[in-house]
Amino acid sequence: MKRFLLTTGAFLAVGCSGALTAPSGDGTVPLGEGPVTLAACQKAPITAAAAQLRRLSSEQELNSVRDLLADPAAAPAYVSHSGGIITEREVEGMALAAQELISRKGHVRYAPCKTDGAHDLACAEGFIRAFGKAAFRRPVEESEVEVLLTTYKKARDTAGVSPAVTFSESLGVVAQVILQSPSHVYVVERGVPDDSLPESVRKLDGFERASRLSYLFWNTTPDAALLSAAESGALDTPEGMRAAASRLLDDPRAQQALRRFASRWLELDGTQKHDALEGVPKEATRFPQDSATLRQAMREELVSLYAYSFGQPGDAFQTLMTSSRAYVNKSLAGLYGVKNGPTSDTQFQWVDLNKDQRSGLFTRAGFLALQASNEFSSPIRRGVFLYRNVLCESLDNPPPTVDDTPIKPGVTGGPMTVRALTHERTRGASCVGCHDRVNPLGYTLENFDALGAWKSGDVVKDGSQDVTLPVDVTATVDAGDLQATLAGGNALAARLGQSQRARDCHVSKWFEQAFDRKPVREEACSVLKVQEQFRADGDLRSLLLTLASSDAALYIGEAQP
């Protein structure tokens, strides 16, 4: 299984017809090698990623057990810390978490009898089938019932303890086993054969599709309605999937998926390179208005703008990139200079920002403050983010020998603007290759200081004096399909709103969240089709519905032997 590059847009390249091979019996033409194009996709047979076992993330695990046990306050101390093969510490953590969860008795609602009485084998079996179905996200197979019933009996018959193990304790043991069962902990997709599909492709069954939808939109285990839909065959068609996806998206729980997407995409929870938005330090003397409350408001504003744009009919992406609407409390309104805004920090309301200064997501304080240093704005950090996360352009890391001290005019360089010092520090021959692409994007945002407030000049030290040097926000941008001289953040925002590369990139980012990995070559056509639609309509809701009913969501390849 080859991974194809979404980051470079290489698969969008035209003129690859030579890669097509001869039509097969059913009139389809396999994709062959080389870049994948939409034209080739129209004629290509259905392909799908090879099946691979996937473990629920800690967040998915937590949401799932809370829902399974109808216990929203449950907070088992289990953390998955490694993306690879499960570690002993994780297995032990799971065991402790299961013990803790079951002690809260949420599982007893699955028992068809009173659980504080005498041992009852039939009731134990009923419990296994009911709780097992909910936890495994599909009916329990007979061989599994057998193993779990044996577990029940062994617990019941434990030797050497007095008094004897109770019915309730035995069910607790079974429930703990169910919560640690691979059928719960891992997402298994085997699919079913279908005559209309190529030999190597299988159709995901209704329950497997239900899990995909549920973890995509709610990041939790399927609810009863979704499992019923799976059982009834309602998810067997793309239309049925779209309808089910639509129901899930209309549920308030889908807001969590949007918030989670925005937080990850915007790196609000931190990366290897920087702390979370609430943790990045700012120099107090320079930014007396900074506070923990302000940081929380910044996060709230960004994710709210994402959710707001998502709900807009029509070109939601354009709205996201260019809207001047903002959800603010008193502190944030103060930073933005909004008059007649909220009068307290606990009160948030939608306001219109000064359209001459701020349009779109990337003119907002949360982004601007996160991608800045302690004292000064950082065209490099802002540019790198836009280049990588918004345009999906690839960029190597700088070598470790590079001088990566922050740009501090008057301190780590002469009394000049941030932009001038940035230019001076990155004009070396080994730097310009990347920085000529990255820096100009950041230069257009030089009207915003390290906390995200509007600035018209840089205040820098000249000897013992503070001097104010006017900023220059006009830059010639050469990044992806942004090839223009742009004057300021609004000009950048307008271009991003129209950028096909930014739209393609956004689809890729959603794919990564939905499938918890990058797409593989067999999924290229699904991605391209969603991208084609999103380029044209910019409709975020439609993006998700199309993704949820795409071949990538409906089918699975044979597992690699």
Partner 1 sequence: MKQRFSRRLVLRGLGGLGIGLPLLQFQNALAATPQVAKRFIVFFEHGGTLSNNAGDKKYSGNGAENGVDAWAPSTFGEALDPGPIHQPLAAHTDSLLLLRGIDNKAGRRQGSYGGNHYTANCTAMTAADVTPFDLSGKFENGDLRSKGRSLDQELADRLNIRHPVRIPCVSLGIWGHNYGTPFYRKSLEQLWGEESPSKAWTSTLSGVTPSGSQPDPAVLRAQALKKSVLDGTGESLKLFQNRLSSQDRQTVEAHLEHIRSLELRLSKESVPLSAVCNPPKNSGLTDGAAYPAYGNAQVDIMLAALRCGLTNVCTLNIGDMLTTFLNPLYRTDLGHSLDHAAREVGKTGTEANRYNDWYQTMLDNRKWRMSLLARFLDGLKATPEGDGTMLDNSVILWTSEFSFGANHSSADVPVLLAGKGGGAFRTGRHIDFNTEAAANPATLKYKTNKSTHNLFTSILNAFGYPDTHFGNAMADYQGPLPGLG
- The nearer residue to partner 1, 81 or 339, going by C-beta atoms, is 81
**Residue carrying the six token digits 């999906």:** 392
Q: Pick from 125, 144, 269, 300 the residue near partner 1 by CB under 8 A.
A: 144
Q: Which of 158, 349, 430, 476 binds partner 1 (CB under 8 A)?
A: 158
Asked whether position 200 contacts partner 1 by CB under 8 A, the answer is no
Residue 160 interacts with partner 1 (CB under 8 A)?
Answer: yes
Confirm or reject binding of residue 150 to partner 1 (CB under 8 A).
yes
Binding mask 274-303 for partner 1 (x = CB under 8 A): xx---xxx-x--------------------
CA dist., res. 315 & res. 502, Å (int): 14
What is the closest distance, in whole angstroms, from the C-beta atom of residue 292 to partner 1 in the complex? 13
How many C-beta neighbours within 10 Å does residue 337 have? 12
Mark 451-490 with x for binding to partner 1 (rule: CB under 8 A) and - for no binding.
Answer: ----------------------------------------
Residues 369-388 that bind partner 1 (CB under 8 A): 373-375
Q: Exactly one of 130, 165, 276, 494 binds partner 1 (CB under 8 A); which one?
A: 165
Q: Using N-to-C axis directions, what is the helix angle for 121-136 and 58-68, rounded to 10°?
A: 140
Q: Which stretch binds partner 1 (CB under 8 A): 94-102, 212-220, 315-323, 426-434?
A: 94-102
Written as six digits, the tokens of 327 are 């959800």
Q: Which residues of 45-72 are buried (b: 16+ CB within 10 A; e: fewer)?
A: bbbbbebeeebbebebbbbbbbbbbebe
How far is Cα 257 from Cα 306, in angstroms, rounded to an integer? 11
Give residues 403-462 in contact with partner 1 (rule: CB under 8 A): 403-406, 408, 411-413
Cis peptide before 163 (omega within 30 of 0): yes
Q: How far is the CB of 302 from partner 1 (least distance, A)?
A: 19
Q: Which of residues 501-560 bind partner 1 (CB under 8 A)?
A: 512, 516-518, 559-560
Polymer length in residues for the chain: 561
Candidate residues 181, 323, 508, 526; the one interacting with partner 1 per rule CB under 8 A: 181
Inter-residue contact 558 to 48 (CB < 8 Å): no
| Nearest one of 525, 531, 556 to 31, comparing CA atoms | 525
**Cβ closest to partner 1, residue 118 vs residue 161:** 161
Q: What is the largest CA-CA distance in the chain?
A: 86
Write out the E strands in 319-401. Answer: 325-328, 349-352
Residue 154 as a binder of partner 1 (CB under 8 A): the answer is yes
Closest Cα to residue 548, out of 85, 212, 179, 324?
A: 212
| CA 107 to mean position of chain CA atoms | 30
CB of 166 to partner 1, least distance (A): 10
Candidate list 82, 237, 289, 349; residue touching partner 1; CB under 8 A? 82
The span from the CA of 221 to the CA of 218, in Å, is 8
Residue among 102 and 249 whose Cβ is closer to partner 1: 102
Q: Which is nearer to partner 1, 19 or 559 (CB)?
A: 559
User: For partner 1, which is the closer residue by CB, 486 or 524?
Assistant: 524
Which uninterrupted H or E stretch holds 187? strand 186-187
Pattern of binders to partner 1 over 13-52, x per CB under 8 A?
A: --------------------------------------xx
CB of 332 to partner 1, least distance (A): 22
CA angle, residues 246, 251, 253, in degrees to nearest 5: 120
Q: Closer to partner 1 at the Cβ: 25 or 160?
A: 160
Q: Decide whether 96 or 192 has the Cβ nearer to partner 1.
A: 96
Name which position in 69, 111, 177, 390 contacts partner 1 (CB under 8 A): 177
Closest Cα to residue 289, out of 347, 348, 341, 329?
A: 329
Interacting residues of 548 by C-beta distance below 8 A, sequence separation 6+: 212, 213, 216, 217, 241, 242, 245, 514
* Segment contacting partner 1 by CB under 8 A, of 160-168, 331-339, 499-507, 525-533: 160-168
